[in-house]
Structure 1
């Protein structure tokens, strides 16, 4: 299954978060998260894009750490599970 959330108003031209869930071996679950975004302003994209990417990486690391704490380490890396794809303005 999957969950998709779209941003409606604000500094983004586009912001889509997509969570995907699939059954894994031994009763586990593979979770994937992708974020696709584009700022309305090219200047804001240049100024805030790196900060937004860094915040996303912190979010993904915190999510993985919490999942490991609750369910045990699955051996996946954040880059295998999560990816950000900023669009150019």
Structure 2
């Protein structure tokens, strides 16, 4: 009595499909699959970066973003002290 039979799971599946619809469930599945794929690619890239000690790229270059110094909205100011 404590475990769920196949009929219970089929009813739960039917209710989920009726509530969310098949298109929404398909979109959720593809989004989840894309997220898992991106995570695996990121882990693979991190492993190759760690295994190559001569690899000298910055984290911004790995992600494909421009470094902060090349940003046109950033103002680089050097503070000088008065003597």
TM over 0.5: no
Q: Which has the higher contact order (CA 8 A, sep 6+)?
A: 1
Larger radius of gyration: 2
Q: Which bracket does the TM-score occupy, shorter chain normalised?
A: 0.3 to 0.5
The TM-score normalised by the length of structure 2 is 0.35
Q: Which has the higher strand share?
A: 1
Determine which structure has the larger helix proportion and give its number.
2
